[in-house]
Structure 1
Amino acid sequence: MPRLTRIAGPALLALVAFAALLVALVYGGASAKPLLEDPGAVVRYGLPIASLFTDLGAALTIGTLALGTFALTPSRPEWARALDIASAGAAFWTVASAVTGFFTFLSVSNVRVTADAKFGESLAFFLTNTSLGLAWLISTLVAALVTVLCFAVRGVTPVFLVALVAGAALIPIAGQGHAAGTTGHVAAVTALGLHIEGAAVWLGGLLALVLLRPVLDRPRVGLVLARYSTLALLCFVVVAVSGVASAGIRLGSWSELGSRYGVLVVVKIVALVVLGLFGVVHRQVLVGRMQNSPAARQGTFWWFVSAELAFLGIASGVAAALARTADPVSAKALTDTGAVSPAEVLTDSPLPLEFSPLRWVSGWNLDLVWLLACAFLVAFYVAGVVRVRRRGEAWPMGRTIRWCLGLVVLFLATNGALNVYERYLISAHFVLVGLVAFVVPALLASGAPWTLALVSIAKRTDGSRGPREWLMLVVRSRGAAVLTHPVSGVVLLAASLWAWLFTPLFRWSLTTYGGHTVLVLQLVLVGWLVVQALLGLDPVRYATRTGIRLAVVGGTVVVAAVVGIVPALGDGLLLANWYGAMGRLWGAPPVADQHEGGVALALIGVVVAAVLAVVVAVRAGRRSEG
């Protein structure tokens, strides 16, 4: 690839992003002088510019690390070059983040820069005692840590862990973004977090691909490009869905598309649509040509990549400007001085309508993380089944149905009526716990997804780690050997349910989105361990005998009964200063509602365990007959 095309891509990205940012700042009004407490033109323009550079540095770091752990081979020169690129990106990210934090302080405090001790004390107080300042301090420190780690580690697994650390650095910033001022705070922050994480991997991976070109020979370019294309497709879906959700939350209604904020949203959507078309061309045309075409055609391809980076620059610049532009919903919220109910004080959301059987169908509170997770898992499973059957091999339809049904239940539990009412009705929370701890794992584990993945995903021969290699690493690990022991599952299930229902973790799972997400994920995984020990469909180290499996069933019944009966028979209300302080005038009283929820939890667990006992007994009978 000519040196000009290598330079043109990153240069176009930076220049177009910068130009789009300035135009969007002026058009959206973010660059105009405020009526009160103007921080000055340097801060008004410097803050969004620094934020843009922070985003680009974070994207280069995270995207390069993600591309490395998924597409590159550690024994080749591309690996060391990728880590050098990631470390340089992280160093740039660190500096840009520090500058952004400093400009943020000047913007919110409206103080002049001086060399005296008072200014330093004010800055230190902002960074250590305010949520906004602490978010930027954490992000800057993590970026600095990633810079060091990129030099210190060279193994694939450590680099993957560094990538996770780098991605985590964006979470505090997402929590303090423009979404914080909107109604539906949790949904807005979640959408923003998914958006910036997906965009970072997408943009940074493409930048890394361009910068790695000098150390990739012709066949490797096509191979790495094909792997990046898969990552980019997943990121495009995440960015598109989260972007639409985020825009809907901030605009409030379709009529606001004509506002200045709405026009900028439309510009960003158009840029994303064009980028989606670029992705189609990548997957359908260019990947194959890059693997088979002569070198003369590769120059055209890299100019095509430069054009794609230019559109990514438009999207990045407009996104940075939107973060500084007042959205219609936030502006309306500032003028809303209505009375606040006790439920709204506790949850930041008004008390929902009275729960009724109809609410099981009409009640929705979308959780983008679990919505996308369920959609991706269904798509991956179906793609695996199609690939296996195209080879002429069979895959039981029952497994596919149970897998999809399990994800439907998980989707309903995390996005439907239970997600609406669990913070107001303890019975709804108990039912959700029963579904994700017992029903969902039973259905998902009976789909044998690990086995399907291992037989459907092609094995790599170039020393890189793809999905199959990562799965095999997990299956063969010592931790998996301990966790998949039949006793481990029951013990972990009992400890987990007790901790989530009778310790301070209960409040954490209700009052924070992170706690709620960890609750669902952890209970699904622990329940999976129990069901896997009973069914034995996926590859594990231990071959469990029928007698031990029935003992596991008995232990599961005891666990479900105890964690359900204790709140069902208790006179005191769990988390009384939460469920008892909602000001709810409809439905059963809180203590009676708790009793009903405890009974429901026990019934769900016992019924699922009984069904699994029948399955174990039937399978044992078939083996004895055979």
Structure 2
Amino acid sequence: MSRAAVVASAVSVVCVAVVVFWAGDVHAALGDSDPGRLTSLAFGLVRTLANAAATITLGALVFGAFVVPAPARRTKLTAHAYAAVRIAATAAAVWVVAAAVAVVLSVSDATGQPVSVALSHLPGLVAATEEPKAWLVTTVAAGLVAAGTRMTLTWVNSVLLLGPALIGVLAPVIVGHVANGAWHDVATNAMVWHIPAAAVWVGALVALRGYLRHSPGATSPDEVVRRYHRLTTVCAVVLVLSGGVAGAVLVGPARLTGGYVALLLIKLAVVAVIPLLRARWGTRRPLGVELVGLGLVLAASTGLAHLVPPAWGLTRPSPQETVLGFELPGGPSAAELVLGWRLDLVLGLGAVLAAAVYLAGVRTLRHRGDSWPLGRTVAWAAGCAVVLVMTSSGLGRYAAGMFSTHMVAHMALNMLAPVLLVLGGPITLALRALPPGSRQWVTALVHCRAARTVAHPAVAAVVFVGSFYVLYFSDLFGEMMRFHWAHQLMNIHFLVSGYVFFWLVIGVDRAPRTLPHLARLGLLFSVMPFHAFFGVILMNKQTLIAEDFYRTLDLTWLPDLLTDQRLGGGIAWATGEVPMLVVVIALLHQWARADRREAVRFDRSADHGHDDRLAAYNAMLAELSGRRN
């Protein structure tokens, strides 16, 4: 272990210990029992170890996939990429153990029981508390990554491992302090940006130090360092902005004094200063200092997770603020729906960024002298606008508390936005606008085995339609609506499942499994009745879906929940047919245009004396004649 790593570890341990013993009994302010200083200290240290291992795992995978020089084809890992994956494998093994220990310690910390009692009643206590469940999810995700990184030798598999790694990194955070109180929706969304950015920075730094130490003869170390600096500069900006937003929510209108505020300011200041030191000292000299600084940042994050946010002691949130993060004081008037915006920092901001990146790609083509159809640009921009409106406008706010409005957002995210987005052809644009190396990333991911499985027509159709029935006709919908992160996951599922299905049916981009137009039409007609049946069932359902959730909100201006649910069923039935009609028209248009192209190609061949069909027929006759002889 290098001297900088030892110093960073020591700084982290000292910082966590100081915060735990200086803060005293933080549980009394919440009306909970104190498990004792030693338990709190052990949990703080284990949490720090788990967070450090998680960040190294995620960041090293990113470093190996996107920072080090890549092979001409995205197949086998290069030696440098494999070394980064091995760093991730070692860190993931530590992560599994630390996360498993954190399950027990988080039970003790959350319930105020000694560790021995927590162990003896572990299953029941884990089921009754949220943070231990999250650490259990992290343990499973870390285990998958640890096993995968030990076995993978291909670039695509190392990229796919980023999925479970990201889940494991986020799980304990999105159910922690940011998930409680007023404005918790904004704080949770901010942390979805904050935590991955921190993980990529820390892990990429560790992988970079290993790369420079063990690859003295590398052909392009300066280019690797420059890529690392570009990547981590973006991470620093995201960290400061997202950390400031989440910190503002958790601090609230309190005075900027106290240990919590001091720790938050130290964390943000260190993150902001490191890029400045890097610019002043050069490209490689501050790497050790950078590692120590990031160790302090990780320890400060653990300390903030231990302390009680000042905003919790200022006001008592209402039931609506507790569940949703905000109030819905009146019915959804036209003014509220149009003007009552609350930017969704995940899907809403993501839609804005997606539109900006797409337009940047179009601009790159035009600067190069190439053309790009205006209709595709309009379709993509319209799809992004639908996502933005349905998640961030007043309609998006009321969708969290009213079933009928929720169904409007659901249908738009699942059927309208995906149709527009697939007509934009983003993969084709990426293949034309990106440099050759990056194009290979896109091609490898689109045609990998996982993509072929997800884009199988049977899988796409079952997920697209079946998720309606599984979600709404079981207890799953009511459980997911209780948590902001689960509600976001639901919206993401609507959008992605719709995109994959319509990609196969009318997508401009070439899918991993291409279908003839007749099969596409059959696939579309096979799912249309199930959408209609779903709406009809909702309109005639006599019992409330997610009744406990909607009763908890206590919306006095919405006394008849069953009528609102039936209205939602009518919306599902009516709005589901219009996008399907648009899709049928688009598919028939594409089919006719493909037939015209084929006819032109055939006529052109015939004009030159070439007839492919006649040649094939003659070849068949010659083969039959040869067999007889």
Question: Shared topology, TM-score over 0.5?
Answer: yes
More divergent stretch after superposition (157-166 vs 409-418): 157-166
- 1:10 and 2:5 correspond: yes
Residue in 1 aligned with 2:95?
93
> In structure 1, how many angstroms separate the alpha carbons of the residues matched to 2:117 and 2:556?
52
Counterpart Cα distance in 1 of 2:154 and 2:402: 48
Distance change in 2, residues 1:182/1:441 (3 Å): same
Are 2:301 and 1:319 aligned? yes
**Structure with bigger RCO (C-alpha 8 Å, 6+ apart):** 1
Distance 1:59 1:441, change over 3 A: same
Instruction: Identify the residue that residue 296 of structure 1 maps to in structure 2.
Output: none
Question: Which of these residues, 299, 302, 307, is aligned with residue 289 of structure 2?
Answer: 307
Aligned mates of 2:539, 2:4 — CA distance in 1:
63
CA contact (8 A) 2:478 2:548 kept: no
Q: Deviations over 1:431-485 (max 9, x none)?
A: 011101221012111110010111222233xxxxx5x334323433466557657
How far, CA to CA, are the matches of 1:240 and 1:18 in structure 2? 23
Q: Out of 322, 330, 354, which is 2:331 matched to?
A: 354
Matched residue type, 1:14: S
Report the Cα distance in structure 1 between the residues aligned to 2:226 and 2:180, rounded to whole angstroms.
40
Aligned to 1:240: 240
Matched residue SS, 1:399? helix
* Contact 2:338-2:395 within 8 A present in 1 as well: no
Q: What is the alpha-carbon distance in structure 1 between the residues aligned to residue 267 and residue 467 of structure 2?
A: 43
Q: Is the 8 A contact 2:104 2:119 kept in 1?
A: no
Q: Is the 8 A contact 1:536 1:543 kept in 2?
A: no
Give the equivalent residue in structure 2 for 1:430.
407
Instruction: State the percentage of identical aligned residues.
Output: 25
Cα deviation, 1:244-288, whole Å, max 9, x if unaligned, reads 2311220122x5334442233233222232345568x5xxx9xxx
CA distance in structure 1 between the partners assigned to 2:461 and 2:145 by the alignment: 38
Structure-to-structure mapping, 1:428-507, within 5 angstroms: 428-460=405-437, 466=438, 468-477=439-448, 480=451, 492-507=463-478
- Establish whether residue 84 from structure 1 lines up as the match of residue 86 from structure 2: yes
Report the Cα distance in structure 1 between the residues aligned to 2:218 and 2:397, rounded to whole angstroms: 53
* 1:291-328 deviation line (CA, Å, top 9, x unaligned): xxxxxxxx953213333334323432322222222221
| Preserved contact between residue 403 and residue 446 of structure 1 (Cα < 8 Å) | yes
1:361–1:8 CA distance, 2 compared to 1 (3 A): farther
CA contact (8 A) 1:500 1:519 kept: no
CA drift of 1:112 comes to 6.9
Write the letter of the residue equivalent to 1:326.
V
Question: Structure 2 CA distance, aligned partners of 1:277 and 1:350?
Answer: 41
- The alpha-carbon deviation at position 355 of structure 1 amounts to 1.4
1:198, 1:235 within 8 Å by CA — same for their partners in 2? yes
State the one-letter code of the partner of 1:205.
A
Flag the 1:497–1:101 CA change in 2: closer, same or farther, 3 A. Answer: closer
Aligned-residue CA RMSD (Å): 4.0
Say whether 1:537 aligns with 2:544.
no
Question: Is 1:51 paired with 2:47?
Answer: yes
Query: Any idea what the Cα deviations from partners look like across 1:172-210, whole Å, max 9, x if unmatched?
Result: 421442335533445444433542232112111111111
Runs of 5+ in structure 1 lacking a partner?
1-5, 286-298, 461-465
Kept in 1, the 8 Å contact 2:380–2:424? The answer is yes
Q: Hey, what does 2:609 align to over in structure 1? A: none
* Aligned-residue offset at 1:153: 3.7
Which ranges of structure 2 fall in alignment gaps of 5 or more residues? Answer: 71-75, 601-629
AA matched with 1:321:
G
| Distance of 1:95 and 1:432 partners within structure 2 | 41
- Whether the 8 Å contact between 2:55 and 2:169 is mirrored in structure 1 is no
- Return the TM-score normalized by structure 1: 0.79
Q: Which residue of 2 aligns with 1:383?
A: 360
After superposition, the Cα gap between the structure-2 partners of 1:121 and 1:602, relative to the gap in structure 1 and judged at 3 Å, is closer
Q: Give 1:403's aligned residue.
A: 380
CA positional deviation for 1:430 = 1.2
- Secondary structure of residue in 2 paired with 1:302: coil
| Cα shift at 1:406 | 1.1
Does structure 1 residue 392 correspond to structure 2 residue 385?
A: no
CA distance in structure 1 between the aligned counterparts of 2:429 and 2:206, rounded to whole angstroms: 33
Change (3 A) 1:588 1:565: farther
Q: How does 1:220-369 map to 2 (within 5 A)?
A: 220-229=220-229, 231-253=231-253, 255-275=254-274, 277=276, 281=279, 301-332=283-314, 336=316, 351-369=328-346
Q: Distance in 1 between matches of 2:110 and 2:467?
A: 42
Q: How many residues align?
A: 587
Q: Please tell me whether the aligned partners of residues 193 and 242 of structure 2 are also in contact (alpha carbons under 8 angstroms).
A: yes
The 8 Å contact of residues 182 and 322 in structure 2, kept in 1 or not, is answered as no
Structure 2 length normalisation: TM-score?
0.79
Give the match's secondary structure for 1:81. helix
Letter in 1 for 2:80: E
Instruction: Return the match for 1:30 from 23, 47, 62.
Output: 23
How big is the shift at 1:68? 1.9
Q: Mark the CA change 1:355 to 1:504 in structure 2 (over 3 Å): closer, same or farther.
A: same
For residue 249 of structure 1, what is the amino acid of its counterpart?
A: V
